[in-house]
Amino acid sequence: MAKAPQKEETPALDRIDLEILKLLQQNARATIKEIAAGVHLSTTPVHERIKRMEESGVIRQYVTLLNASKVGKGLMVICYVSLRQHSRHAGDKFIKSILEMNEVLECLTISGEFDFLLKVVAANMDEYYHFHVNKLSAIENVGNVQSVFVMGVIKQTHQLVF
């Protein structure tokens, strides 16, 4: 009997791979030399392992996180949206619109009363109000919308710990 098939045939990650990922999660600009020293290997295998994980999609993207309020995006809002009808077409239309809106950093489909949870950033309340009324509510089939304002960020990380 063959081993159980995996989605998309991702080769299993060993302990060294996970250690490399831990370091890269903390600092995407770490040099290969630094990472190699961290996992007690030479640069060659580390370079190969990183390339393999980039190609297999384990590593999604190297990004720079900014201080939102210092670049004029001081307001964060969690926004719940339900659609008036749940046809395939209505859903696709909504998703397409959301993907184009730069104010929306995150869009999740959720269980419960609402269909979507959005994380939205704006410079201030005026800008958010404009987004709410003229952009979000203007998408066809958008029904109920509810905004919850974020008063403070206690924790914000992307570090997955294995």
Residues that bind DNA (CB under 7 A): 16, 31-34, 40-45, 47-49
Give residue 24's identity as a one-letter amino acid code: L
Out of 44, 87, 109, 144, the residue judged to bind a copy of itself by CB under 8 A? 109
CB 124 within 8 A of CB 74: yes
CB under 5 to 8 A by kind: which of a copy of itself, DNA, none does 47 bind?
DNA
Give the count of beta carbons closer than 10 Å to the beta carbon of residue 57.
9
Of 20 and 81, which CB lies nearer to DNA in the complex structure? Answer: 20
Out of 1, 15, 40, 64, the residue judged to bind a copy of itself by CB under 8 A? 64
CB under 5 to 8 A by kind: which of DNA, a copy of itself, none does 42 bind?
DNA
Out of 16, 59, 90, 145, the residue judged to bind a copy of itself by CB under 8 A? 59
Residues in the chain: 162
Q: Which residues pair with 79 in a beta bridge?
A: 118, 147
Please calculate the CA angle 132-119-88 and round it to the nearest 5 degrees.
75
